[in-house]
Structures are given as C-alpha cells and as structure tokens.
Amino acid sequence: METPEIAKKGPYVLDMEVSTVYWCSCGKSSKQPYCDGSHAGSSFTPTKVEVTEAKKVAFCGCKHSKNGAFCDGSHAKL
C-alpha cells in the first residue's frame, strides 16, 4: 500500500458554500486540499465531499486522518 505525501501538518480550514468537491488523498495536488489529478498512475483516488450547507470545514492536510477528508488531529502524531 502506498503512503500519501504530507501536504501540510495541519488542516485546511475553509468557509464552504453548498457544493461538491473532490479532496486530494495522495498529497501531491498543487490545488490542496482539492484534487488536481496528480494521483494518476497511483493507487490513490480523490474523495467526493458533498457540502450540504454553508459552514466552516477542516479538511485533512496530512492525509493520515482516520476521518476521511476531514481532520481528526492525526497530524499531531506525525
């Protein structure tokens, strides 16, 4: 199993509107925390996130969260 690159040792905290986005799971995207296709040729795939109401979202930046696309504090242990 491949290991994702750590894009950031902390979350990407963003004010989100209602939308559907694709979170980068590989850590290689130049458009963090969103996927830009940099995972091509790897075992990684982006995670679809549907934001159903306007709110602040903490996307995982370290790519090691046990909570999928959302930060769970795993970066503190890296």
Residue 59 lies inside a defined structural domain of this protein = yes
Residue 34 lies inside a defined structural domain of this protein = yes
Residue 76 lies inside a defined structural domain of this protein = no
Domain count across the chain: 1
- The predicted-structure confidence for 24-74, as pLDDT tens digits, reads as follows 999 999 999 999 999 999 999 999 999 999 999 999 999 999 999 999 999
Encode the chain in three state secondary structure. CCCCCCCCCCCEEEEECCEEEEECCCCCCCCCCECCCCCCCCCCCCEEEEECCCEEEEECCCCCCCCCCECCCHHHHC
pLDDT of residue 1: 73
Residue 29 lies inside a defined structural domain of this protein = yes
Residue 45 lies inside a defined structural domain of this protein = yes
Residue 16 lies inside a defined structural domain of this protein = yes
Model confidence at 23: pLDDT above 90: yes
Residue 74 lies inside a defined structural domain of this protein = no
| Residue-number span of the structural domain to which 49 is assigned | 12-66
What is the sign, positive or negative, of the torsion defined by CA atoms of 58, 62, 67, 72? negative
